[in-house]
Amino acid sequence: MSATPEATPTIVLVGHGMVGQRFLEALAERGLTATHRVVVLCEEPRPAYDRVALTSYFSGRTPEELSVTDPEFITTHGIELYVGDPAVTVDRVAREVTARSGRVFGYDTLVLATGSYPFVPPVPNKDAEGCFVYRTIEDLLAIEEYARTRATTGAVVGGGLLGLEAAGALKGLGLTAHIVEFAPRLMPVQVDEGGGAALLRTIEGMGLSVHTGVGTQEIVVDASGAVTGMKLSDGSELATDLVVFSAGVRPRDQLARDCGLTVGERGGIAVDEQCRTVADPHVFAIGECALAADGRVYGLVAPGYDQAETAAATIAADEASFTGADLSTKLKLLGVDVASFGDAHGTTGDCLDVVYSDSRAGLYKKLVIGRDGTLLGGILVGDAEAYGTLRALTGSVPPVAPESLVLPAGAGAGAEGLGPAALPDDAIICSCNNVRKGTIREAVSEHRCTTVPEVKKCTKAGTTCGSCVKVLGQLVAAELEASGVEVDKGLCGCFSQTREELYEIVLALRITTYQDLLDRYGREEARGTDGCEVCKPAVGSIIASLAPVIGASGYVLDGEQAALQDSNDHFLANLQKNGSYSVVPRIPGGEITPEKLIVIGEIARDFGLYTKITGGQRIDLFGARVEQLPLIWTRLVDAGFESGHAYGKALRTVKSCVGSTWCRYGVQDSVRMAIDLELRYRGLRSPHKLKSAVSGCARECAEAQSKDFGVIATAGGWNLYVGGNGGATPRHADLLAQDLSDTELVRLIDRFLMFYIRTADRLERTSAWLERLPGGLDHVREVVVEDSLGICAELESLMAAHVAHYRDEWAETINDPEKLARFVSFVNAPDTPDPVVGFVPERDQIKPDLPLLAIGHRPLEGSAQR
């Protein structure tokens, strides 16, 4: 311990969680770290980390990535941080704190931020081998180890926030997971009966078993003392190898009790509005251990941050007070949005409810409205997109009809005029950090912030739970426009919406045709027209990618869809420079049998096609006339081939090396993984083409880091890289997550691809999208790994629908005479081959006879072109 002059006042902070770290930052902002000695006693073996995102550890986020403590901050401000060394006694007379190590620290000001501890019901055998709590990173490490080596089934006691997250973690570890909740519904504090029912349906649909209205009577153990089951209050018994208690928390106030500080009847260290303990003006308490002056213990991070700021301001002799906090919260449970705000249960009495419920989609939305039209509160389950706006409007009369705020997009008249720009400047946009709209506007107009990352850095908005990031983006755009910076986000002259916005409209309203979308949401001057060549293929791609979900035909040449496609998609083949087409059957992972090679060779010979092995490990057959395509594909389909989608904005190939099966250096079976991935994502329509690769070791023979998503094997699993591009502007892919299991890898790729499809612009490769996206890779990681927006369940569901409904386009085409009728050069002369298509020999094969001919070809004189 470095020597400190006796005259230097000392602040001792007991506890180093998120609230404790915020307190240190508040001290530094006020210059108190320069005038005071600051000592921090931390019980856990690591500095403060993001406990809100604790479950993201099971999605690949490392403990280091969860940290909210910058070592440089600690060093720069001279803070003495002792990890793994908690305070054990406080002598308030001598003003000394003794740590477990025996160190003794005198203090002028003591701040208790000891947080809370998990409540474990007093049931028999609650401490048996196989019983855990869900509170710290160490708890998660222990659960992970036990689940991997000792368990096949897990049960969580408690159906609140952490309980549902724990159950999701157990399922992610490969266990059969159960949730046992004493209340009649899940999350009884946050949601009402209707919201609980919607949440239940969604969670059960994920494969978790839920038992509500029953309590745990006893933990059943075997002769060795290990868990084998649970006895429930209804007389039933649940077989399980592992139990996680997540039945709530209690304030950690024992240290305060032992030194004689006043503690509430139900726990919590009693403090005044300045967060000073009522028994000792030299001692403060903040966070979950504190019983605030309003008689409440706050278990959310935002009130804890406010208390930290209040305590730091009081120590600095500034005026500050904590008189209570809004308990509104937006949660992400197993990827399902759950939010409540204001008086969500209508406890104020004279009020009305506006409810929208769609049990099929797992949606439940309720607004509580006063008789005078004031928005008092609400509950959102399954879709909390409007949470930021609704929360900010709480306590006021919304400028539109209440029902328009909860109905799907477009179904509530007037809702489109309501957005962040309509909110007053004192509306709180980021509840975690108490950032108001006016502060965000000032960051743009006065501090010259032009992007969301810049605003986040300037204001701290969006840096905790991330639920307000989309609203931040809208406010930044609105403020830039107000400053005279023209921001036309429209897709084209037909639509004022971006591609992302059109995707959301199509998904929300189940719009299945381009014309319907144009007539309802197109610019006024475009309605009633045929649209343009920019938006037609873009909308066609959106409808195709969402076809299984919205009820549209998955076949791109059905009805109106055929008119929307790019030139290549018109005939499910790549148009070449002389008017001929190429045929590319899928060869997953580059693996092919001799029999299939022979089939390809025979087809190429019989139809006189040019053959070439591509860089993506498959074979291109060039020179087919349009009328030959069905004949060629009939033989290919009969041999077991399917479309390689070389013509579409879709997945092309998943390239691979030979991996551990053959290579001396391979550490994983890259061929199997490449085949699995290509078969999973085949036919997936996207804003641009997608390419992938899997390398069996770090030698990178498959060049995975130049792909839209690439996978490299490690001794611990798979590393996932995203955003690479080997095209005209090469870009190395970025590492998104590492050492993933097969299941974790597929889940993250599912999420990444659907998030890209959802938010990218037309013809935007993942590389350009990643660089354009506010926050870049960090934002993508927050969304698809940490589920910061709470949309991962939806992204996974969309991908699952694609996989379940995939149909080979060519197999469908050759079995439908009506579809085959389109494969002619000239509609009024179907038996006439196109005379423009010609070839000359080269290197024992053929090449186009018109090397300078532009794409497309001339119509036959006097005939209608195809």
Q: How far apart, in whole angstroms, are the C-alpha atoms of residue 50 and residue 786? A: 11
Q: Is 131 annotated as a binding residue?
A: no
Query: Which residue bears the tokens 């039933």?
Result: 236
Please give the structure tokens belonging to residue 831: 């038996």
Q: Per-residue DSSP letters for 484-530?
A: T------SSSS-SS-HHHHHHHHHHHT---HHHHHHHHS-GGGTTS-
Q: Which amino acid is at 39?
A: V
Residue 373 to residues 143, 369, 407, 425: CA-CA distances in angstroms? 49, 6, 17, 21
For residues 321 and 304, is the Cβ–Cβ distance under 8 A?
no
For residues 251 and 285, is the Cβ–Cβ distance under 8 A?
no
Q: Per-residue DSSP letters for 147-203?
A: HHHT-SEEEEE--SHHHHHHHHHHHHTT-EEEEEESSSSSSTTT--HHHHHHHHHHH
Residue 32 to residues 28, 70, 282: CA-CA distances in angstroms? 6, 18, 16
Please give the structure tokens belonging to residue 439: 């502060």
Phi and psi at residue 683, to the nearest 5°: 80, 0
For residues 753 and 686, is the Cβ–Cβ distance under 8 A?
yes
Please give the structure tokens belonging to residue 60: 């690949």
Strand order, beta sheet including 131-133: 131-133, 242-245, 153-157, 176-181, 209-212
Residue 553 to residues 167, 264, 558, 561, 795: CA-CA distances in angstroms? 36, 63, 7, 9, 20
Q: Is 42 annotated as a binding residue?
A: no
Least Cα distance to 466 among 776, 737, 782 occurs for 782
Q: Which amino acid is at 506?
A: V
Q: Is 532 annotated as a binding residue?
A: no
Please give the structure tokens belonging to residue 396: 């006021």
Q: How far apart, in whole angstroms, are the C-alpha atoms of residue 378 and residue 339? A: 8
For residues 399 and 374, is the Cβ–Cβ distance under 8 A?
no
Q: How far apart, in whole angstroms, are the C-alpha atoms of residue 481 and residue 489? A: 11
Strand order, beta sheet including 690-695: 651-656, 690-695, 709-714, 717-722, 734-740
Q: How far apart, in whole angstroms, are the C-alpha atoms of residue 491 and residue 568? A: 22
Query: Which residue bears the tokens 């938010």?
Result: 759
For residues 109 and 315, is the Cβ–Cβ distance under 8 A?
yes
Question: For the stretch 38-75, what's the b/e string if a residue is b when 16 or more beta carbons lie within 10 angstroms of its beta carbon?
Answer: bbbbbbbebbbbbbbbbbbbbbbbeeebbbbbeeeebe
Provide CB contacts within 8 A for 213, sequence distance 6+: 181, 182, 183, 184, 234
Q: Is 432 annotated as a binding residue?
A: no
Q: How far apart, in whole angstroms, are the C-alpha atoms of residue 483 and residue 480? A: 5
Helix pair 792-805, 535-550: axis angle to 10 deg? 90
* Four-residue CA torsion sign, 11, 15, 21, 22: negative
Q: How far apart, in whole angstroms, are the C-alpha atoms of residue 403 and residue 355? A: 8
Provide CB contacts within 8 A for 825, sequence distance 6+: 625, 626, 627, 832, 833, 834, 860, 866
Q: Which residues are annotated as a binding site?
A: 657, 663, 697, 701
Q: Which residues are annotated as a binding site for [4Fe-4S] cluster?
A: 657, 663, 697, 701
Q: Which residues are annotated as a binding site for siroheme?
A: 701
